[in-house]
Structure 1
Amino acid sequence: MLLFVLTLVGFLFPLAYSPGPGNMFFAALGARFGVAASLPANAGYHVATLVVTGLVGAGLVSTIDPDTALFDGLKMLGSVYVLWLAWKMATSGSTKAEADGRKAGFVDGALLLVLNPKAYVIILLMYSQFGALGPADMADRVGLISLVFTLNNLLAFLLWTMAGDGLGRMFRSESSARHLNLGFAVVLAGVALWMMLG
């Protein structure tokens, strides 16, 4: 069992820790508001991750295939949502009242996962490689894979959030905060375009 988990984590490591929509969003959130303020959105993303991964593993979301119109629609919706997040980031200032009004919450995090077609591709790829391995009982196997996937992503996102927070601490003045926000907004917009065209 331990070997199975370690192999799964090894497979997931480059996927979870490399830049992507979730990592960039949480790095930007950490830079703008700090780690503590990002926790509701992080919780939303990872509750959604656990649910979606479990449903895919149980065969209930297998219709989201990269060759379907549903996948294309999801890709477009996800790209638009990330562009909207980039716009919010680009137009935010650094005053405390404004910052408090723009914090991302649980629903924002959940939507980021649900509207991220790359997440479905990774989940399907993971199950194609590991779906027949691990515990003999299907429910145990799906539960274990879903839990390992979710916890690995959670750790990666917390590290990206802390990195963003550390960067943000260097840019707390009004003008430098605006520059940092614009920089992260450009990165998020680039991720949105990558999602749309990928």
Structure 2
Amino acid sequence: MIETLFLVLPLMLSPGPANLVTFALTARFGFAKILPFLLGISLVYIVIAIVLGAITSRLAEQYADVTNYIRVFGSCFIVYLGVKLLRRRNRNTLTKAPSLWNGITLQLLNPKYPPVVLSVFANSQNKNTLITAAILCIIGVTGLVIYASAGMFMRRQVNVEKQLGVLDFVFGLLLCFTGIWLLLS
């Protein structure tokens, strides 16, 4: 179990799409308003970890092309989100906070998570699917909380409303780079 934990930590705490979006949204809306969004991501963490854990070997053998299509589509979706942030013009009006469905959609289309899950299950010494899935989910949610805390720190340090253009630009570029990196890798 310790080996699985050390395998999961760097994978789930790295700045992937869910973590970067969580940081940006928390800086914009605050932690309480994005809780439904975080719950959506967390629900997908659980479902995908259990489903992929149960069928890891079969999925890799029978559906290798499908995982490539998901990776490409998800990468393009993340670039789309980044471009949308870069092109946003009306920055001074508040929009509503993201919903549970937004969190589910983001994580379902996140091309980083399924390969991480597959890698963890393929390399894990722990053969208990539920324990490995639980470790993935706990570390994943911990990562979201860490990035949300950093977003709250940002929110307190700067006037987010005045800095929205800069934040949108930085996070838009980060999302575009992340999507392109995932597409090319």
**Aligned residue for 1:129?**
123
Task: Kindly provide the amino acid, as one letter, of the partner of residue 52 in structure 1.
Answer: I
Q: Normalized against structure 1, the TM-score is what?
A: 0.81
Moved over 6 A (4+): none
**Aligned residue for 1:193?**
180
Q: Normalized against structure 2, the TM-score is what?
A: 0.86
**Aligned residue for 1:137?**
none
**Contact 1:168 1:177 (8 Å CA) reproduced:** no
The Cα RMSD (Å) is: 2.4
Partners of 2:159 and 2:19 in 1: how far apart?
21
**Contact 1:94 1:173 (8 Å CA) reproduced:** no
**Aligned residue for 1:33?**
29
**Contact 2:126 2:132 (8 Å CA) reproduced:** no
How far apart are 1:74 and its partner, in Å? 0.9
Greater shift, 106-115 or 47-56, is seen at: 106-115
CA 1:171–1:120 in 2, change beyond 3 Å: closer, same or farther?
Answer: same
Q: Structure 1 residue 48 and structure 2 residue 44: aligned? A: yes
**Aligned residue for 2:70?**
74
Partner SS for 1:133: coil
Partners of 2:156 and 2:108 in 1: how far apart?
31
Partners of 1:80 and 1:73 in 2: how far apart?
11
Partners of 1:157 and 1:33 in 2: how far apart?
15
Partners of 1:15 and 1:69 in 2: how far apart?
23
Partners of 2:153 and 2:104 in 1: how far apart?
25
Same amino acid, percent of matched pairs:
23
**Contact 1:30 1:168 (8 Å CA) reproduced:** yes
Partners of 1:76 and 1:128 in 2: how far apart?
22
